[in-house]
Structure 1
Amino acid sequence: MSSPNASLRQRPGKDKSKVVINGDRHEDGPANTYEPLKNSVTREWDYKIGLTIVTILAFVTRFFGISHPNEVVFDEVHFGKFASYYLQRTYFFDVHPPFGKLLFAFVGWLVGYDGHFLFDNIGDSYIDNHVPYLAFRSLPALLGALTVVVVYLIMWESGYSLPACVLAAGLVLFDNSHVGQTRLILLDATLVFFMALSIYSYVKFYKQRHEAFGRKWWKYLLVTGFCMSCVISTKYVGAFTFFTIGCAVLIDLWDLLDVNRREGALDLLTFAKHFAARAVGLIVIPFFFYLFWFQVHFAVLSRSGPGDDFMSPEFQETLSDNLMHQASVDIQYYDYITLRHKDTKVYLHSHPDTYPLRYEDGRVSSQGQQVTGYPFNDTNNEWQILPMEQGSKAGSLVLNGDIVKLRHVVTDTMLLTHDVASPYYPTNQEFTTVPLDVAAGERHNDTLFEIRMEQGKKGVPFKSHSGQFKLVHHPTKVAMWTHTTPLPEWAFKQAEINGNKNVQQSSNIWYVDDIPSIPADSPRLIKEAKKVKSLPFLVKYIELQRAMFYHNNALTSSHPYASLPYQWPFLLRGVSFWTQESTKQQIYFLGNPIGYWITAALLAVLAGILGADQLSLRRGLDALDRRTRSRLYNSTGFFFLCWAAHYFPFYLMGRQLFLHHYLPAHLASCLVTGALVEFIFNVDPVLDDETSATISAKKDKVASRMPEKARRSFQTAQERLKGQSMFATWVATGVVLAAVLYGFYFFFPLTYGWPGLTPDQVNARKWLGYDLHFAK
């Protein structure tokens, strides 16, 4: 596969001397053509008429009833909220890059929305809260409609026949999952649109291969890079689009190295220019655009907000009105403090109860006093921070890197960890407490802990709230850690505290939440106004990237509507977006089963055709001509690669997955379907100038050797075969689209949330046992 298409169609430009004949472009028209000039001009208009109809239908299906429901639907609680945070300039955290969310914020700014509504709950009224939700929803609807147009243009620019263009676009046009995702305040419309536009612009770029380094060549190269940047700047699965285009580029570069190229071999300097141009246009410039959206993100979000807790204290100091820094107080030795875990928010807690002698798996404990994580504030959460040597450093500041002890105030015992396995993690150490006399004697070393502040230099003051830290056991170098799985009843289902040998793990971080021993009139509580600090952009960017990747990979918990990749092509499961009990209306995210099954079947057919062709070649049988095989591998194969690159990587992911993750791959499968139907019915492709001229010359040479009567019979036979192939393709396209249209109409109420359905009507739509509401 050397390109998205080995014989790409050249659409006519503004040069009036060039006319389109049978879809091909010629200089002033050749002397011998097999169809009248009138038909060739009509064919160009056929494509334009088809594009017009497809465009109108795309806008109708996406914008019809877009005001319903006038309530928050599914993940609009997230992406609508993020738009409001942008407009309030309030810092938030999300696992997705900022580009798609910035577009929603831009729409809100255009219509004068101030971001007062925070989309807290599914079902909250937009009307009562005066939210311009139609403007927000219009953005994905617009991009969704344009996606259908781009699919049509991809097929047209790739040289496919009109029915192939209509079929590929129609499969996306009448697909319920594409419609459903583009009518709500969600990111997928932006992702899929720019993914499709990346493919289209790369096809346009490749068509300029004979005019390398020309103005159009550079234009489409840079547009391709920009579009790919927009894809990955919306969601990180946009990396699959980079992989798709990257494979095509690498194969194209490999072909340029061939000394037997028809256009002639390239010298190494020229090849280096080709390589460098593609590297700059498709890697360097897209990366700078990607960074640019993060720069905008940081510039807009200048105020403290709900995303603060995900960032380091140094990052938070760059935000105005930051409550953590306003509440931070220097910690002195002998203060009473409460410690809280950054991720789970539980307090470090202890009580007189002890660990059981044996755990459920038979392991033996120390039977020491339990040390647990407790979610509520309580006197048993108070600890006194003491110096390593008792009686010293009274009133002195605790500094980063100090070795300290922690006394549990209520039970008057000292915190320690030792080489005894914790209840749930045999590889981690148990935390417990011991009496003061034991802690001062033989167990002294076991009670020593080092304060290791995150991002802090050694010797800086240790503060409450802002002084996020790891409590590292001095002798054994394990870090105090907790997690979300509760202990059994013997520990009152509180959280386990243990010593984690992986000290670098980011979930080891704690902070001092309160210092209850400080008098209310203490001068330590007097605050001076703090200036907002600044951090270099790359420092902030790298920190945010780490947090995004960490929390994205942590999305492993089960979800009632999660699905696995093998279920997507067969549409085995959907997602409930919204329900209304009073009207029995519901929005259930589901694709068009007929369209999904057809595209999945034809993907398998293509794999079979490619396998059979390779097998026949091994046995010395050549069933395809060179032009047909080139088109099958280079064009249809490119679309198949696009599908595979956007589908199979999900099998490697451990995070939650849903049906909407398949939308980019489904679009690619629609392109494969359109291309394969044309291949099956053997419709002559629309060729570029060079290929068309070569074929015409060969036909003219054959025809010139025939008697006049035989020549006319030959031409008539050629025209008849073309007409029969085109008719068969139109029939196949019509049958498929009729079936797809029926599926779209049948599942219309679940996609648009209107009208409500009776239980019998709901059950009739459970084709594969979909878990629909109001079925009883």
Structure 2
Amino acid sequence: MSASPKPKGSSLQDVSEKGTASPTGESSDIRTTIRHCLSVLVPLALTSLSFYVRLHNIEKNQYVVWDEAHFGKFGSYYIKHEFYHDVHPPLGKMLIALTEWLAGFDGNFGFDSNTAYPDNVNYKRIRQYNAIFGALCTPVAYYSAKNMGFGALTVFLITLMVTLEHSFIVLSKFILLDSMLLFFTMLAFYCMVKLYNFRDKPFTRPWSWWMLLTGVSIGCVCSVKWVGLFITLVIGLYTVMELFSFHSNASISKKMLFKHWIIRVINLILIPFLIYLFCFRVHFAILYKSGTGDASTNTLFQINLQNNKIENSPRDVVYGSEVTIRSHGLSPNLLHSHVQTYPEGSNQKQVTGYGFADGNNVWQIRFSRGSGLQSDFNDTLDDMLRPVKDGDEIRLVHKSTGTNLHSHEVPSHVSRGNFEVSGYGSETVGDDKDDWIIEFVEQLDSSNPDFPKEDHTNLHPVSTFFRLRHKVLGCYLTSTGLSYPAWGFKQAEIVCKESWSRRDKSTWWNVEEHWNEHLESSPDYVPPKSKFWTDFVLINFAMASSNNALIPDEDKYDNLATKAWEWPTLHTGLRMCSWSRDVYRYYLIGSPFNTWLSTASLFAFIFLMVKLAFQWRRQAIEISEQQFWDLMIKGGFPFVSWIAHYLPFVTMGRVTYVHHYVPALYFAILVFGFTIDYVSQGLRTPVRYAIYTLLFAGCTYTYIYFSPLCQGMHGPGVVYSKLQLLPTWDIVI
């Protein structure tokens, strides 16, 4: 940032705390020793306090609390090796599985909500292991604040606020992902700060080390929850600004600029992606048995799982066979229909994609209308055993409703520019718009090298990938990846669309299950192995689809859900468990001291930045490049990080809860630390120390006063009525 000429007598108040001149001699050695001891003892003491408040009474609630019902169960799936599906990446849940394994858990407990833990499940130990991530947030906060250049008082204040934050504490006490997410988010920001400290020493060993650790921390936080992308964007912004400053520096050669770019691409993009990819590789390797999540995967993945439910069927699909057909698109669901009709358009029966086993997934392959052949299969055995071949015209008849798979020039209901696909007519009622042309796109051979080579011109279950082109319209049967509204039971949209590429996977299908009483199965057939990259892409899209489906249900009242505006204002909290007087009860809400002061500081920060910008514009102050970067690292990037972690939840349509504010609250605390550090610099030393003493006392007193919210309330609710600070809190009600 270029500086304007500095008027005489004007200056920018330093954003970093000024130290005093170092004394000499023995007194200097003593003070140096004292400072060194404090630099070790202070974070050690605060970390010990952090472990204490998070581990204290961690076992008092003996029931499955809140989302332990989800994440504890996911951990058990790893122990039992059963495949499951969830909206989050696998790293955090694999770490939970590790803690369960270390605690001696055998996986044989269902983690049903509000169910008492049996004696053979050491839930205390499992919670303690998970609490470590929450407790380690304290040293990360301490060293982050210290390396950002804050004074000792501000560093201590920020760390104390993180240590005694009620929402951080209570989330650390249970088997959840939130403490892991917060830890890796804070760690990623800390690594970015360390990179800033070494920005003048590029390509040295420390700089390279912290560049690598930054990429590793990004990979870890994104592998716990996709919320990790928010801190990734912040680090990306810092990187772009840093590279821009290099481009404006004439002393840096183009070769050196290229080297800077390559190093960052490798460490901050490639390495995080490889870590994310590796987590899924481990995820697939551990979960090698069929489980509850099979419906989110393609046929090849499912059939290679142990104990899968796909039967070994006859290898040649013939006319008259009954089949289920699965999409290769980003919603790998089975072709499905039911008696319900479209509310608009043709008003004919709905055709959807549905992932789970259901009688409405079964279709029979019959001769097309235009073939002139009989479809009752009663004439000759040759008709019954005529194989379906590449290029054949076929008709698919829904077994349950007797309707034909049909398309016409009626617009699709969710996606734009496509045609509706419906269930229409019967065996006697119909037209040539019931006919489809089957086009093979790929044939895979058996994994058993001794199995006879199959005829690639015939349709085979599992191994033949094909497209279905509408005979009249020329469009292709497609799973769009979108979902119908409530009238379509939020099942996947199936349309007929124009497709100009054979590689368009949304138009690819395969027969999954096949039944024909006149044919025998082939017991020696071993299905081909699925491709990791295909499995990886489909699982991630399934995660995205599940996330998008987490929208508020207008027909149900969710008393736990809250709006984003309620979090920084503490409008209401969240009851984490049963509110019976006989159990320890926990109320998830931020500390009033931390949350309200940090929220106020966000507005104060904006005011300070506008004031500085106005003064700089008027040439009342001079801002050097170093001062600009110090200002950004201490205040600018924490503020941007708060926006990045808060604003998406304001705009997104999915259901939101109090715990979604946890990462944003940390950055709001950093903004508060900057604000109080900046404002107090112009004060006399006794006044400054008095202010910080009041802040230390306020933070500590607030924790002690409201500690039952995070340490557990037991007995009559009226005892805790004093904690109901706002009438919207439902602690007692």
Q: Note the C-alpha offset of 1:336.
A: 5.3
Residue equivalent to 1:434? 425
* Stretch deviating more after TM superposition (396-405 or 137-146): 396-405
Spell out the pairing of 1:120-519 with structure 2 (5 A cutoff): 121-128=112-119, 130-259=120-249, 265-326=251-312, 331-335=317-321, 348-350=337-339, 384-388=364-368, 389=371, 390-391=373-374, 393-398=383-388, 402-407=392-397, 416-419=406-409, 429=420, 431-434=422-425, 436-439=427-430, 443=431, 445-450=432-437, 459=457, 461-463=459-461, 473-476=470-473, 477=475, 479=477, 500-501=495-496, 518-519=516-517
Instruction: Please give the alpha-carbon distance, in whole angstroms, between the structure 2 residues aligned to 1:133 and 1:258.
Output: 57
Counterpart code for 2:652: M
- The two structures, once aligned, show a CA RMSD in angstroms of 4.3
* Stretch deviating more after TM superposition (498-507 or 544-553): 498-507
SS in 1 for 2:586: strand
Preserved contact between residue 391 and residue 439 of structure 2 (Cα < 8 Å) = yes
Spell out, residue by residue over 1:682-707, the C-alpha distance to the aligned partner (whole angstroms, 9 max, x if none): 07xxxxxxxxxxxxxxxxxxxxxxxx
SS in 2 for 1:431: strand
Q: 1:396 to 1:728 in 2, by over 3 A?
A: farther
Q: Note the C-alpha offset of 1:51.
A: 1.7
Spell out, residue by residue over 1:381-432, the C-alpha distance to the aligned partner (whole angstroms, 9 max, x if none): 9764311122384322345764322456788765544445799999864735
* Stretch deviating more after TM superposition (604-613 or 659-668): 659-668
Residue equivalent to 2:8? none
Residue equivalent to 1:103? 95
Preserved contact between residue 334 and residue 361 of structure 2 (Cα < 8 Å) = no
Q: Note the C-alpha offset of 1:600.
A: 0.7
Number of corresponding residues:
685
Spell out, residue by residue over 1:520-542, the C-alpha distance to the aligned partner (whole angstroms, 9 max, x if none): xx652x45165474344333323
Spell out the pairing of 1:56-95 with structure 2 (5 A cutoff): 56-95=48-87
Instruction: Please give the alpha-carbon distance, in whole angstroms, between the structure 2 residues aligned to 1:47 and 1:145.
Output: 19
Aligned mate of 2:529, from 525, 534, 542: 534
Q: 1:66 to 1:620 in 2, by over 3 A?
A: same
Preserved contact between residue 15 and residue 631 of structure 2 (Cα < 8 Å) = no
Instruction: Please give the alpha-carbon distance, in whole angstroms, between the structure 1 residues aligned to 2:200 and 2:723.
Output: 56
SS in 2 for 1:665: helix
Instruction: Please give the alpha-carbon distance, in whole angstroms, between the structure 2 residues aligned to 1:215 and 1:223.
Output: 12
Preserved contact between residue 288 and residue 306 of structure 2 (Cα < 8 Å) = yes
* Stretch deviating more after TM superposition (451-460 or 161-170): 451-460
Q: Note the C-alpha offset of 1:438.
A: 4.5
Preserved contact between residue 320 and residue 364 of structure 2 (Cα < 8 Å) = yes
Preserved contact between residue 69 and residue 113 of structure 2 (Cα < 8 Å) = yes
SS in 2 for 1:570: coil
Stretches of structure 2 lacking an aligned partner (at least 5 in a row): 3-13, 376-382, 445-455
Counterpart code for 1:84: S
Q: 1:502 to 1:570 in 2, by over 3 A?
A: farther
Q: Note the C-alpha offset of 1:146.
A: 0.8
SS in 1 for 2:173: coil
Q: Note the C-alpha offset of 1:597.
A: 1.0
Q: Note the C-alpha offset of 1:144.
A: 0.7
SS in 2 for 1:682: helix
Stretches of structure 1 lacking an aligned partner (at least 5 in a row): 10-20, 488-492, 684-720
Instruction: Please give the alpha-carbon distance, in whole angstroms, between the structure 2 residues aligned to 1:198 and 1:436.
Output: 63
* Stretch deviating more after TM superposition (76-85 or 477-486): 477-486
Q: Note the C-alpha offset of 1:134.
A: 2.4
Residue equivalent to 2:379? none
Instruction: Please give the alpha-carbon distance, in whole angstroms, between the structure 2 residues aligned to 1:381 and 1:243.
Output: 43
Q: Note the C-alpha offset of 1:661.
A: 2.2
Q: Note the C-alpha offset of 1:237.
A: 1.6
Instruction: Please give the alpha-carbon distance, in whole angstroms, between the structure 2 residues aligned to 1:256 and 1:294.
Output: 37
Q: 1:401 to 1:57 in 2, by over 3 A?
A: farther
Q: 1:770 to 1:619 in 2, by over 3 A?
A: same
Counterpart code for 1:101: K
Residue equivalent to 2:659? 660
Instruction: Please give the alpha-carbon distance, in whole angstroms, between the structure 2 residues aligned to 1:279 and 1:378.
Output: 47
Spell out, residue by residue over 1:150-206, the C-alpha distance to the aligned partner (whole angstroms, 9 max, x if none): 101111223322220121112212211111221111112112112212222332333
Instruction: Please give the alpha-carbon distance, in whole angstroms, between the structure 2 residues aligned to 1:253 and 1:295.
Output: 33
Preserved contact between residue 414 and residue 483 of structure 2 (Cα < 8 Å) = no
Q: Note the C-alpha offset of 1:583.
A: 1.7
Instruction: Please give the alpha-carbon distance, in whole angstroms, between the structure 2 residues aligned to 1:118 and 1:172.
Output: 34
Preserved contact between residue 336 and residue 515 of structure 1 (Cα < 8 Å) = yes
Q: 1:474 to 1:185 in 2, by over 3 A?
A: farther
Preserved contact between residue 373 and residue 494 of structure 1 (Cα < 8 Å) = no
Preserved contact between residue 365 and residue 421 of structure 1 (Cα < 8 Å) = no
Instruction: Please give the alpha-carbon distance, in whole angstroms, between the structure 1 residues aligned to 2:548 and 2:314.
Output: 31
Preserved contact between residue 55 and residue 128 of structure 2 (Cα < 8 Å) = yes
Residue equivalent to 2:699? 740
Tell me the TM-score normalised to structure 2 length: 0.80
